[in-house]
A and B are shown apart, each in its own frame.
Chain A
Amino acid sequence: MLKLTGVNMTFKPGSVNEKRALIDVNLVIHPGDFVTVIGGNGAGKSTLLNVVAGVCNNESGRIVLDGIDITRKPEYKRAAYLGRVFQDPMMGTAAGMIIEENLAMAKRRGKRRSLRWEITREERAEYCRELAKLGLGLEERLQDKVGLLSGGQRQALTLLMATLQKPKMLLLDEHTAALDPKTARKVLQLTQDLVAQEQLTTLMITHNMKDALRVGNRLIMMYEGRVIFDVEGEEKRSLDTRDLMEKFEMVSGGEFANDRMMLG
């Protein structure tokens, strides 16, 4: 589904602050894979997703999504293929617009926009149905400004928006990190439901090792811009947090594994 070949990404190249955020990343993700991504702060996890989404342009290497070379496509064109949810619940929705306007924008992700008025009656009915599935009562509030919703509600809405128009891939960047534990669990459960329902190929960054182990069929660990560990299936299921920590200490040359990734 997604194939990264020799991808490098350097921030501020040539300056004193030069930062090699991705170093020769090679990664093949198969259709239906649900990959969790872990790694310490600054390991390059977000950069990996951003390079796929076109937020930043990789300096070398190729990115092919479902047979389409998207390496040089701008972010807004790649949006046609990708559903995205960010860490900050405020980033995924437009606060000043009402819920159904946000959904209507998401429904038209990657489509040509015209001078038609948004939102037909059938469309509204569909939004109601989909919102009802979230179980947050949002189906009663189609005309409410999104800015009135809580962080958890907004994140759930963003998740729905990312999948309303089935994407080739779902990219989740610590999308539960800013929520309180209870809401985080709920949103994660919702994520699993949606992914299973729509059989979405998913790349999910998380800072929570237990979640990383429990969710998905495959796990990758990043360290200083490289993918240093990649397990799937049975092998992944047999892992526990202790194994992950050992693995981390091994590749980081004994660096003590109490980095932020090791929390939880």
Chain B
Amino acid sequence: MPAGHFYAVFIHSGGCARCNASPIDPSAGSAIAGREQKPMNVMLAMQDAFAQGLLWAVMSLGTYISYRVLQIADLSVDGTFALGGCISATLIVGGMNPFFALIFSLLGGMIAGAVTALMNTFLRIPSLLAGILTMLGLYSVNMRIMGKSNTPLLGEDTIITLAGNVLPFSKNVINLLIGIVFCVGLIAVMYWFFGTEIGCALRATGDNAKMARALGTNTDNMIILGLLLSNGLVALSGALVAQSQGFADVGMGTGTIVIGLASIIIGQVVFRFLRGNFALKLLAAVLGSVLYRVIIAIVLQLGLDTNDLKLFSAVLVAVALSVPLLREKYKASRLRKEAE
């Protein structure tokens, strides 16, 4: 019963997250009815946060390839995430099996990633700008694919409903299981790939392109391969999220890059013990994605206006990005003080 076990673990950690929030919980000690009402909502919100976190973590893993391995902040992911969702939704409405729809989303994302990479390598457009151009262009592409700005999947088969037909669990738990399967599978595949000769050449390209070329690596090809894989995963994540939430929207990718970076950096800062091994670093990014969703769920429970969410995310990422530097500065100033 591994599934049941995971369920228990996540419910438990959800509870812990609630405890952290409780000092400012105004309902504490109020009427019994209220007290029973609130934990249920929180529990569901946390379950949902974990499930969403894992489905979005597929995107974080993709972003890891561009941001951490190739050291490129690739903004095309805002477009490719939505692209994945739009392709999946359109194909499902058209009658395709939702699993096959995932594959087409993956392929669509890979093509988009290759476009950004080709602009960067062949046309020598700076990667940041190339990503922005792809992102912008994809908005129109996504509108074309769906023919409208939003495609609901009400009453359609999705991988969640199909899994629900055979597994006796709630929708949240099934989301969670699907998220775990994809994340664990992808970490395994990525760990393998980045240990191969080609994978090492890709890592070396991001680490030191001059050295990589001097050792016979076609660095342009590696950038193309990296962005292709990265955007493929991001689109896959978009497809999973669309199928899980039951609709695709052209705007669903807005801010994806920020969420991806947030997950990677939060994961790295909070789960500092997950270092050394590449698979552990990927796991940290996945956990970072989950933690990001948990943080968002908590601030929403605490009454943050959903309209302020993007501002909150932006501030969160800015803070997380500055933590390593602040930590360095703090260390340096302490060393100076000790020296005096």
Contacts and interface: CB of A to CB of B under 8 A. Distances in A.
B214 A92 contact: yes
Interface stretch (A63-71, A76-84, A216-224, A243-251): A76-84
Contact of A77 (B204, B208, B216): B216
A126 B337 CA distance: 47
Interface stretch (A9-17, A104-112, A202-210): A104-112
A263 interface: no
Contacts of A101: 200
A76 B205 CA distance: 12
Interface stretch (A18-26, A115-123, A234-242, A252-260): A115-123
Contact of A95 (B193, B195, B208, B213): B208
Interface string B189-208: 00011011110110110011
A97 interface: yes
Q: Which residue among B197, B201, B212, B215 has the maximum number of chain A CB atoms within 10 Å of its CB? A: B215
Interface band, chain A: 20 to 34
Contacts of A96: 203, 207
A96 B206 CA distance: 10
A182 interface: no
A110 B217 CA distance: 8
A105 B196 contact: no
A65 B204 CA distance: 27
Contacts of A91: 208, 210-211
A53 interface: yes
A105 B201 contact: yes
Contacts of A104: 197, 200
A197 interface: no
Interface in B176-198: 192-193, 195-198
Contact of A117 (B196, B201, B216, B218): B196
A105 B213 contact: no
Nearest to B71: A96
Interface in B113-160: none
B216 A109 contact: yes
Interface of B: 192-193, 195-198, 200-201, 203-204, 207-208, 210-219
Q: Which 4 A-B pairs have the closest CB atoms?
A: A79-B216, A94-B207, A113-B197, A110-B216
Interface of A: 53, 74-77, 79-80, 82, 84, 86, 90-97, 101, 104-106, 108-111, 113-118, 161
6 contacts: A74-B218, A76-B217, A111-B216, A113-B217, A115-B193, A116-B196
